């Protein structure tokens, strides 16, 4: 197949993916989003004959716009701009999960510091304040007291960008020092790991320690539902255990649409890039079949 890889920087994750694609003799078109222009009818990027494009952009805005344009030229792209749109925004993400009856931490959005302080006081302390966009635990606050709440809200209001004018307040989940990351393709788990840390942010990016994790039936069910809730694709589903380690009870705090897999690849026995390319091949084949039957009809 002919695969386009949309990127702005080749990290270890992209190297793993590119190596796997080349080992299987797929033709790869690397598309550096920084160099291309996207018009209403066509683009400088060589997307015309591609079977599928994989979005690996780091920046959310580039990812959302570039996939939207590529989709408009009729070129299949994963993840879809619709999935990206939901996943890129924590408020939309939470709403989608709740609408699909996936357990997710209680959350409120407010638009002024006064209303946000009310939400915080109602949740009680500690609670969590997050920017609606962003990742790697950046600018997330665990708020322990009213004094801290007032200070953080004032800082956000005075120094924050537009994105910080939306206050996303969430209950603090008393997780057992770890959370769970599952890489799933259209709802089917490929690999899962725990991320443990003494810090309340347990993300790998914040220095959390990773270990392979065996999903139980409930976790598998929730991953599938969470994936469907955001429109499917190659996703990183994040869960926390409620009621202690191995309690088998979970809450899904977010679904990520541009998912890193190098940590999962080294933490587990799974050959993650191989599984990802298996999925891309199946996806491209299904799309080609679909196109043929459309022509037939």
Ligand X SMILES: Nc1ncnc2c1ncn2[C@@H]1O[C@H](COP(=O)(O)OP(=O)(O)O)[C@@H](O)[C@H]1O
Nearest to Mg ion of 106, 115 (CB atom): 106
Least distance to Mg ion, CB of residue 295, Å: 42
Radius of gyration of the chain (CA): 20
Check residue 105 for interaction with ligand X (CB under 6 A).
yes
State which of residues 43, 135, 210, 268 lies at the interface with ligand X (CB under 6 A).
135
Least distance to ligand X, CB of residue 244, Å: 14
Check residue 137 for interaction with ligand X (CB under 6 A).
yes
Q: Which residue has the tokens 């996303």?
A: 168
Tell which residue, 255, 261, 260, has the closest CA to residue 88: 255
Total of chain residues touching ligand X, rule CB under 6 A: 19
The residues, ordered by sequence, that sit 6+ positions from 174 with a Cβ below 8 Å of its Cβ are 242
Check residue 55 for interaction with Mg ion (CB under 5 A).
no
CA 203 to chain centre: 13
Nearest to ligand X of 20, 241 (CB atom): 241
Pattern of binders to ligand X over 208-247, x per CB under 6 A?
------------------------------x---------
Q: What is the DSSP pairing of strand 167-171 with strand 107-110?
A: antiparallel
Nearest to ligand X of 39, 124 (CB atom): 124
Check residue 170 for interaction with ligand X (CB under 6 A).
yes
Q: Which two tokens stand for residue 174?
A: 């008393």
Nearest to ligand X of 30, 262 (CB atom): 262
Q: Which two tokens stand for residue 139?
A: 């600018």
Q: What residues pair up with 6 in beta bridges, in sequence order?
A: 31, 55
Nearest to ligand X of 43, 258 (CB atom): 258
Pattern of binders to Mg ion over 146-185, x per CB under 5 A?
----------------------------------------
Q: Which window, 35-43, 150-158, 164-172, 242-250, contacts ligand X (CB under 6 A)?
A: 164-172
Least distance to ligand X, CB of residue 1, Å: 31
Q: Which window, 4-12, 33-41, 84-92, 230-238, contacts Mg ion (CB under 5 A)?
A: 230-238
Conformation bin of residue 74: beta by default, left when phi > 0, alpha when psi is -120 to 50: left
Cα(285)–Cα(205) distance, rounded to whole angstroms? 35
Check residue 26 for interaction with ligand X (CB under 6 A).
no
H or E segment to which residue 152 belongs: helix 146-159
Check residue 253 for interaction with ligand X (CB under 6 A).
yes
Cα(42)–Cα(109) distance, rounded to whole angstroms? 38
> What are the backbone dihedrals phi and psi of residue 183, each rounded to the nearest 5 degrees, phi first?
-95, 125
Contact 237, 252 (CB under 8 A): yes
State which of residues 238, 241, 260, 265 lies at the interface with Mg ion (CB under 5 A).
238
Check residue 200 for interaction with ligand X (CB under 6 A).
yes
Cα(121)–Cα(169) distance, rounded to whole angstroms? 10
Cα(283)–Cα(276) distance, rounded to whole angstroms? 10
> What are the backbone dihedrals phi and psi of residue 152, each rounded to the nearest 5 degrees, phi first?
-65, -40
Which residues of this chain interact with ligand X, rule CB under 6 A? 105, 128, 130, 135-137, 170-173, 175, 179, 200-203, 238, 253-254
Site of interaction with Mg ion (CB under 5 A): 238
């Amino acid at each position: 197949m002919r695969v386009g890889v949309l990127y702005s920087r080749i990290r270890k994750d992209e190297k793993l993916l590119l190596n796997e694609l080349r080992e299987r003799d797929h033709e790869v078109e690397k598309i550096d989003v920084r160099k291309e222009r996207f018009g209403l009818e066509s683009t400088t990027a060589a997307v015309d004959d591609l079977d599928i494009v994989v979005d690996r952009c780091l920046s959310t805005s580039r990812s959302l716009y570039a996939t939207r344009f590529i989709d408009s030229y009729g070129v299949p792209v994963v993840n879809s701009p619709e999935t990206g749109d939901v996943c890129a925004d924590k408020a939309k993400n939470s709403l989608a999960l709740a609408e699909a009856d996936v357990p997710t931490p209680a959350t409120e959005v407010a638009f002024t510091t006064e209303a946000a302080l009310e939400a915080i006081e109602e949740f009680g302390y500690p609670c969590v304040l997050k920017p609606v966009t962003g990742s790697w635990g950046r600018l997330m606050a665990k708020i322990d007291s009213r004094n801290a709440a007032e200070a953080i809200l004032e800082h956000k209001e005075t120094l924050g960008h537009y994105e910080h004018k939306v206050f996303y307040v969430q209950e603090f989940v008393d997780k057992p020092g770890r959370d769970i990351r599952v890489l799933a393709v259209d709802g089917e788990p490929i690999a899962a790991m725990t991320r443990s840390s003494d810090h309340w942010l347990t993300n790998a990016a914040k220095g959390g320690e990773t270990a392979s994790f065996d999903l139980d039936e409930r976790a598998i069910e929730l991953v599938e539902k969470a994936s469907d809730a955001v429109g499917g694709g190659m996703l990183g589903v994040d869960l926390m255990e409620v009621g202690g380690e191995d309690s088998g009870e979970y809450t899904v705090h977010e679904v990520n649409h541009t998912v890193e897999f190098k940590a999962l690849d080294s933490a587990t026995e799974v050959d993650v890039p191989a599984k990802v390319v298996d999925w891309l091949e199946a996806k491209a084949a299904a799309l080609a079949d679909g196109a043929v039957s459309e022509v037939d009809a």
